[in-house]
Structure 1
Amino acid sequence: MTVCHPRRVTSPLRFGRFAVDTPVVLAPMAGITNVAFRQLCREQGAGVYVCEMVMTRALVERNPKTLRMIAFADDERPRSLQLYGVDPEVTAAAVRRIVDEDLADHIDMNFGCPVPRVTRKGGGAALPWKRRLFDRIVSEAVRAAAPAGIPVTVKMRIGIDDEHQTYLDAGRIAEEAGAAWVALHGRTAAQRYSGEADWEAIAKLKQELSVPVLGNGDIWEAEDALDMMRQTGCDGVVIGRGCLGRPWLFADLAAAFAGQPRRARPALGEVVAMMLRHAELLVRWWGREREGVTDFRKHVAWYLKGFPVGSELRRSMAMTSTLDELAHLAHQLDFSAPFPETVLGKPRGRTNSPGKVSLPYGWLDDRDSTVVPAGAEMDDSGG
């Protein structure tokens, strides 16, 4: 009898001394990708699971909240940390601290954040416009990480807006500076999370670079990831909003990349079990029940999206303060309700409108300036 084995769709994603069979990266999301959520996702399938973005200055100055945000579970490998910085010297100091104190195994640099409080200081998606400053930041990070063999990667957007695209220049600069991979969100900062991601830009970047290129944007189902890989030739995918309220998306991705047809379609009872476990993990991470359950509230709508749950019960579950209260309300749900197929392929999380990007005064005037804007380095925790 001939046994047919499923054919893998992709090769392992390699960066530094690491390789993951499923070329999937969990994107850092503020208030979401803490230890608890990462553990839920890691249990579903292999990949790279990145903590919330932290500020370089806050790390150097040992901001207590920042130290909490970069906590990892004992079995997390690689320990992936995303840094945000605008000053090359502060960035280097932050990376040296990571090396000296063994805080992480992988450093991802954020050049994709479109939030106004970030871009108005020249950071995030605004920074690659200053190509020499961008080069210095990535180069300093790579140089500081080298003694420990820590790979440094870069995540960015297409550019500030359609008239100020930076991704091809920035990709080449990052590669020459020693970045282990470059991830591209196929939107400009001006688009924020509106419209459709431009996968063609990901394909163009892949043609330009020899280091791995990862694609990000509009991956709602495992099939979307396969389509992106086929259409762009990218080496892996970055998952953000698509996994909100759906940690099992990573099981679907692992199956899809292994050439297997199975997909998770949990009934409401299974979803409730995942919700309660998520809340318990948050309580364990916070160390206080009220804070953990309060943190969980924002996840309720994402988990229940599309299920036949009354608005009053949804609202009550999103106002709980104890695990017992959450469990009592959850057990009023119809556990037999099937997974709502109508929500498949639909956006989750933020779907805001496009808008003008906030930038420092005169930011667009000189692309080769390496001047760091006054007050650019934020000392808060990040997220």
Structure 2
Amino acid sequence: ALPYKRRLFASLVEAAVKGASKYKIPVTVKMRVGIDSQYETYLDAGKIAADLGVAWVALHARTAAQLYEGKSDWSKIKNLVEHLAPTGIPVLGNGDIWSGSDAIEMVKTTGCAGVVVGRGCLGRPWLFADLVAAFNGQEIRALPNLFEVREIIYRHAELLTQYFSSEDRACRDLRKHMAWYLKGFRVERELRAKFGMVSSLLELRQLLDQLVDQPYPVAIGDAPRGRTSHGRAVSLPDGWLNDPDELVAVDGEDSGSGG
């Protein structure tokens, strides 16, 4: 919803680019197509961001109102690529990238310079290896068996522990990833429930060692994952749609996610 307020959006992007430039950090603007089908803002917002010096513009090809409903509309990405071509600013595509072949298809279809992965890598960090292989013209896919996945899970927990400097916090964060990691594998319900309550690396190791090895479940494991919620009307601050050129200050209590 923010890009609808063009002046406000521009002021925020300008401040981000200016602040990051001190440290020579490039800025990427990522946005959706718009609030809904009536208020599509991506072309104007993309041009504003490009003119203000961002390095990349990334587009999730759904509106905020759609959330994750249905298929993303890759034609919007193509439109943005063409719209920003005179600026020289590259566009990144986002939405429904579940495999390396999806990424290649998006680039071929839209002309975007690259892809942004969201839900596709949940519980599948090896997807990035598949993407690298696909863009290098290699028909190589990572299909880890369950024993390989369990070691990835444990390494994930170790890295989280280093990041948070807290084993307890790391394990609590890991819980939300367990269903994604184990998607499609045959794991007893009781054991799945225990993974959802894990609180230490030792406990995690003990639970992982109870898993029975099995091949990667391609049909289920590679299927769409993450949030698939139906669309809904976007909640906006009072008067938000009155004037797109109004420079407003949004109170913290009025701000929220548009999906």
Query: What corresponds to 1:267 in structure 2?
Result: 145
Shift in alpha-carbon separation, 1:167–1:376, aligned structure 2, 3 A: farther
Regions of 4+ moved over 4 Å: none
Match of 1:168 among 39, 43, 54: 43
Query: Superposition pairs for residues 193-208 of structure 1, below 5 Å?
Result: 193-208=68-83
User: What does residue 351 of structure 1 align with?
Assistant: 228
CA distance, structure 2, for counterparts of residue 182 and residue 364 of structure 1 = 24
Q: Contact (CA 8 Å) 2:184, 2:221: kept in 1 or not?
A: no
Aligned to 1:251, which of 129, 144, 148?
A: 129
Deviation at 1:372, TM superposition (A): 1.4
Matched position secondary structure for 2:30? strand
**Match of 1:182?**
57
Structure 1 CA distance, aligned partners of 2:160 and 2:210?
Answer: 22
Matches of 1:197 and 1:252 in 2, distance apart?
Answer: 21
TM-score when normalising by structure 2: 0.93
- Paired amino acid for 2:138: Q
Q: Given residue 312 of structure 1, which amino acid in structure 2 is its aligned partner?
A: E
What is the match of residue 284 of structure 1?
162
1:292, CA displacement in angstroms?
1.6
- Structure 2 residue runs of 5 or longer lacking an equivalent are none
Question: Deviation string for 1:9-68 (max 9, x for gaps)?
Answer: xxxxxxxxxxxxxxxxxxxxxxxxxxxxxxxxxxxxxxxxxxxxxxxxxxxxxxxxxxxx
CA distance in 2, matches of 1:314, 1:281: 22
2:32 is equivalent to residue 157 of structure 1: yes
Higher strand share: 1
How many residue pairs get matched?
A: 252
Cα deviation 1:76-105 (Å, max 9, x = unaligned): xxxxxxxxxxxxxxxxxxxxxxxxxxxxxx
Residue 376 of structure 1 deviates from its aligned partner by 6.4
User: Given the two structures, how large is their TM-score scaled by the length of structure 1?
Assistant: 0.64
SS of 2:67's partner is coil
Aligned to 2:192: 314
Q: Equivalent residue of 1:361, what SS?
A: coil
**Which structure shows the bigger proportion of residues in helix conformation?**
2
Is 1:372 aligned to 2:249, yes or no? yes
TM-fit CA distance, 1:223: 0.8
Q: CA deviation at 1:198?
A: 0.7
Cα deviation for residue 331 of structure 1 reads 1.3
Matches within 5 A, 1:215-230: 215-230=93-108
Residue ranges of structure 1 left out of the alignment (5+ in a row): 1-125, 379-383
Offset at residue 174 of structure 1 (A): 0.9
Equivalent-residue separation in structure 2 for 1:200 and 1:164 (angstroms): 17
1:342 alignment counterpart? 219
Is the 2:183–2:221 Cα contact (8 Å) retained in structure 1? Answer: no
Please report how far the alpha carbon of residue 140 of structure 1 lies from its aligned counterpart in structure 2 after TM superposition: 2.5
Answer whether contact 2:81 2:111 (CA < 8 A) is retained.
yes
Given the superposition, is the C-alpha separation of residues 262 and 375 from structure 1 closer, same or farther in structure 2, using an over 3 Å criterion?
closer
Q: CA RMSD in A?
A: 1.5
Q: Does the 8 Å contact 2:237/2:254 carry over to 1?
A: no
Q: Retained in 1: the 8 A contact 2:90–2:112? A: yes
Matches within 5 A, 1:1-383: 126-209=1-84, 210-335=88-213, 337-375=214-252
Secondary structure of the structure 2 residue equivalent to 1:260: coil
Q: Is the 8 A contact 1:221 1:344 kept in 2?
A: no
User: Matched residues in 1 for 2:147 and 2:92: separation?
Assistant: 35
Q: Which amino acid aligns with 1:153?
A: T
Q: Output the CA distance in 2 between the equivalents of 1:202 and 1:269.
A: 39
Report the AA paired with residue 205 of structure 2.
A
SS of corresponding position for 1:173 = helix
Cα separation, partners in 2 of 1:144 and 1:282, compared to 1, 3 Å: closer
Q: What is the CA distance between 1:234 and its match in structure 2?
A: 0.2
Whole-Å separation in 2 of the counterparts to 1:283 and 1:142: 32
Distance 1:358 1:166 in 2: 17
**Amino acid paired to 2:6:** R
CA distance in 2, matches of 1:162, 1:223: 28
